[in-house]
Amino acid sequence: MSTPRTITSARDEVRKVAPKLIELSEKVLYADVWERPGLSKRDRSLITVAALVAMYRGDQLTGHLERALANGVTREEIGEVITHMAFYAGWPAAMTAGRIARKVFDEAKS
C-alpha cells in the first residue's frame, strides 16, 4: 500500500518515541486490517475519514484524506462525508474538517 507523505512523516516522528506503536500500526493495522477482503480500501478510507471527523482528530485526518484520494475517493465524496458528519458529529468538527480538506486538496494540486 502506498503511504501518503503526511502519514509517513507522522510515523517517523512517533517511531522515535513509541516504536512498538508504529510496529503494530504497520504490521497489524495496515498490513492486516486494511488488507482484509471484507471492505475495499476505498470504503475503509470513507469510514476512517468519517470517524476522524466525528472524533475531531485533525492531525490524523490530513493523512487519511490524502490516503482517501489515493484510494479513489473523490473530493466531492469527501465533501459529502464532511457535510453528512456535521449532523452527527457537530458543526465545529465538520467546519474544521472542511478547512483541513481544503488544505489537502490545495497541496494535491501542486
Spell out the SS3 assignment of 35-99.
HCCCCCHHHHHHHHHHHHHHCCCHHHHHHHHHHHHHCCCCHHHHHHHHHHHHHHHCHHHHHHHHH
Amino acid letter for position 90: G
pTM of the model: 0.87
- Residue ranges for the chain with pLDDT beneath 70: 1-7, 110
Give the pLDDT confidence score for residue 109 in this predicted structure: 83
Largest pairwise CA distance in the chain? 38
The dotted CATH code for 5-109 is 1.20.1290.10
pLDDT (0 to 100) of residue 7: 62
Asked whether the beta carbons of 67 and 23 are under 8 A apart, the reply is: no
Domain edges within the chain: 5-109
At 42 the pLDDT is 98
Model pLDDT, residue 60: 94
Residues 93 and 29: their CA atoms lie apart, in Å, by: 25
